[in-house]
């Protein structure tokens, strides 16, 4: 969660961490890299950010920095975490996915799939985003992974009356 003032300067930057299972409060101390993507598409990497073993960690060192339009937590994928993409970042990714490096595209794909699978995002929003990303994907590993996410979503998570529509769209993206 991040907020900025009218001048585009960060006034708040918080990372929320939650236990995977309620009965096992296994919040961890994490060291992650964060990628800020700015409106002009420039990127700023913030290295070795410590996330405390608590629900909310405020990253005070980021206050006063230029506010990003999108954020990728765990950039470089060092920590063993499930990153849940924020709505602001997803909006940016829909138009700029192809500008990301391979590891960041893989993180975005995993994040939106996890969010849909965990019922924190509509599976239709996931599929619309994933099909858009497929059009720009050239990495065979990410392509294969994204296709398996799309297939699982079509078969298990969307309403039955939408299956034919998404199967047709997937066919069009993959074969044209």
pLDDT tier, 25 (very low <50, low <70, confident <90, very high otherwise): confident
Cα separation values, 77 from 37, 63, 156, Å: 17, 24, 28
Query: CB count, 10 Å around CB of 104?
Result: 21
114-162 confidence digits (pLDDT tens): 999 999 999 989 999 999 999 889 999 999 999 999 989 888 888 888 8
What string of DSSP letters covers 29-54?
-EEEEEEEE-TTS-EEEEEEEEE-SS
CA distance 156 to 138: 26
3-class DSSP assignment, residue 149: helix
Top pLDDT among 176 and 40 is at 40
What pTM value is reported for the model?
0.88
Expressed in percent and rounded to 5, the helix, strand and coil fractions of the chain are: 45, 25, 35
Residues 13 and 49: their CA atoms lie apart, in Å, by 12
Q: Give strand pairing partners of 56.
A: 16
Q: How many CA atoms lie within 13 A of 146 on its CB side?
A: 28
pLDDT per residue over 87-114, tens digit each? Answer: 999 999 999 999 999 999 999 999 999 9
Contact by Cβ (8 Å): 76, 33 = yes
């Amino acid at each position: 969660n991040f907020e900025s003032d009218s001048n585009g300067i960060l006034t708040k930057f918080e990372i929320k961490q939650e236990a995977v299972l309620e009965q096992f409060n296994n919040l961890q101390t994490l060291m992650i890299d964060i990628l800020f993507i700015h409106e002009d598409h420039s990127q700023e990497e913030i290295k070795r950010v410590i996330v405390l073993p608590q629900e909310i960690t405020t990253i005070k060192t980021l206050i006063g920095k230029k506010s990003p339009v999108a954020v990728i937590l765990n950039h470089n994928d060092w920590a063993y975490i499930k990153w849940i993409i924020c709505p602001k970042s997803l909006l940016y990714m829909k138009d700029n996915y192809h500008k990301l490096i391979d590891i960041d595209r893989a993180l975005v794909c995993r994040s939106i799939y996890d969010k849909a699978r965990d019922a924190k995002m509509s599976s239709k929003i996931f599929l619309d985003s994933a099909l858009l990303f497929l059009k720009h994907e050239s990495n065979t590993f990410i392509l294969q992974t994204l296709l398996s996410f799309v297939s699982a979503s079509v078969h298990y998570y969307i309403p039955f009356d939408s299956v034919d529509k998404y199967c047709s769209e997937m066919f069009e993206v993959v074969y044209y």
